[in-house]
Amino acid sequence: MKSHGNTIRVWDLPTRIFHWALVVCVIGSYVTIKLGGLWMDWHARFGMTILGLIIFRLIWGVVGPHYARFSQFVRGPKKLMGYLQGHFTSVAGHNPLGALSVMALLLFIGFQAVSGLFANDDIFTTGPLAYLNSQWSSRLTTLHKLNEWVLLGVIGLHIVAVLWYQFVKRKPIIPPMVHGDTVVVTSSEAVSTQDSWKVRLAALLLAIVIAGFLWWILNLAPTGDFSSFM
């Protein structure tokens, strides 16, 4: 079926890589925690990667291209209510409800990753910062486990919403997150995001800096406490 309108680049490559890398790592983290045992090493690795991805997205949401920026899609309660009542004009990028979903995912996935730094199962795995305070480690371990259920709910709602828009409302939102392009009806919306080699190089340099920061965190733990990462 042909779409009438202008095709524009809405999602830059770094944003798309972030999205699908996060999907893979969240699934990997969930599967490995259920397998337990020696798989806990991989659970921790997935967790550290997720933390890096969340840090990247938070920074990219400030300095990244147009549609990746929080200032472009995060809107107040009035806009959200207007959208729910059908008074919001369709635009490229996230709609107000989608923006709320994105922020909820970043919040709860981010908390899961950060709390994992302090988690301690007293058997196989100890987070790299668990040694700082045993009492806080115990509390955050409990919250880490409880937040799993919140995450399942938030992710479940997100998937249902995506499928609803994709297959019921016939609004393609999955393909643009793969190839980056979408079709807009009015010319006023037809503003392509920046996705040049300079943007991609900047994202790569940011990723390298974040990786170095995470490596530094891993090496804060006393020798042997987090050796499974090395």
Give alpha helix (H) positions in the chain: 13-35, 40-63, 70-73, 77-84, 96-118, 134-163, 176-179, 197-218
pLDDT of residue 3: 45
List Cβ neighbours of 10 (8 Å cut-off, separation of 6 or more).
Answer: 67, 92, 93, 176, 180, 181, 182, 192, 193
Q: What is the pLDDT of residue 226?
A: 44
- How many C-beta atoms lie closer than 10 Å to residue 69's C-beta? 16
Location of structure tokens 């100890």 = 126
Q: Shortest CA distance to 129 belongs to which of 49, 217, 48?
A: 217
Distance set, CA 114 to CA 70, 81, 189 (Å)? 21, 32, 37
Per-residue pLDDT at 89:
64
Cα–Cα distance for residue pair 119/131, rounded to 1 Å:
10
pLDDT block averages, 10 residues each, the chain of length 230: 69 98 98 92 96 98 96 86 74 85 97 95 81 90 96 96 91 93 70 94 98 94 50
Interatomic CA distance for residues 94 and 70, integer angstroms: 10
Question: Which residues are CB-contacts of 171 (< 8 A; sequence separation ≥ 6)?
Answer: 165
Tokens of 98: 């989608």
The residues that bridge with 181 in the sheet, in sequence order, are 9
Q: Is 203 in contact with 195 (CB distance < 8 Å)?
A: no
d(CA 28, CA 13): 22
DSSP one-letter string for 67-114: GGSHHHH---HHHHHHHHTT-S---SS--HHHHHHHHHHHHHHHHHHH
